[in-house]
Structure 1
Amino acid sequence: MTHNIYLYILVAALVSTLIRVIPLTLIRGKIQNPFLRSFLYYVPYATLAVMTFPAIITAPQLPIAGILALIVGVVAAWHGMNMMGIAALCCVVVFFIENVAVNFF
């Protein structure tokens, strides 16, 4: 059983290393293709959105609290509020909605 664990760790380390090393060795110049450059530019944002969005809705006790916090956060970001302010504001919205809903219902 322990031999399998070491094999799994070795394969994971090898794959992780190859993912980082292959682009550095194969792509030496600047990428000229505008479509590929645009695609690579938006990959981190799309990945972050895919990982974050489900947690916004499922983390609070009430999904509506997460949805309202998301809406408030988007509006605050649209008006130029900084990230710490948006995070604090969204936490306050979730806290307020959950406490009002628990006391109201």
Structure 2
Amino acid sequence: MFVMALTTYVIRMLPMAIFRKKINDKRVQSFLYYVPYAVLSAMTFPAIFSSTGSEVSAVVGCVVAIVLAYMKRGLLTVAVGAAGAVFLVQMIGF
């Protein structure tokens, strides 16, 4: 348990110890700006296809979420729209 706590602590403290100054490189700033979005999508996207009763409803929900997000709808609208689409597809029987 101590090793696990130490590992977690080192991973979180190491960047703060190494990068004490503000990062001025535009390419590095650009990369770091998109890291949270990439990590979130990498964790969320695979779970979409295993969270419903069928792959058809998962694909429909994913497509509806992508379309609503592309139309710049809010997070709540996207989530409710995708869940509603999945519910309707599963009620139809797919």
TM-score, normalising length: structure 2: 0.90
| Aligned amino acid, residue 85 of structure 2 | V
Q: Which is bigger in relative contact order (C-alpha 8 A, separation at least 6)? A: 2
Q: What is the match of residue 94 of structure 1?
A: 86
Partners of 1:77 and 1:13 in 2: CA distance = 38
Displacement over 4 Å in runs of 4+: none
Among 70, 77, 89, the alignment partner of 2:69 is 77
| Aligned amino acid, residue 55 of structure 1 | A
1:23-61 deviations in Å (ceiling 9; x for gaps): 112211111222222222111111111111111111111
Partners of 1:51 and 1:80 in 2: CA distance = 22
| CA-based RMSD | 1.2
Among 9, 13, 18, the alignment partner of 2:5 is 13
Among 26, 29, 53, the alignment partner of 1:37 is 29
Using the TM superposition, give the Cα deviation of residue 98 of structure 1 relative to its aligned residue in structure 2, in angstroms: 0.8
1:81 is paired with a residue of what secondary structure?
Answer: coil
Partners of 2:15 and 2:59 in 1: CA distance = 38
1:58 is paired with a residue of what secondary structure?
Answer: coil
How many residue pairs are counted as aligned between the two chains?
94
Q: Which structure shows the higher helix fraction?
A: 1
From the CA coordinates, give the structure whose radius of gyration is larger: 1
1:41 is paired with a residue of what secondary structure?
Answer: helix
TM-score, normalising length: structure 1: 0.82
**Identity percentage over the alignment?**
33
Among 16, 24, 30, the alignment partner of 2:16 is 24
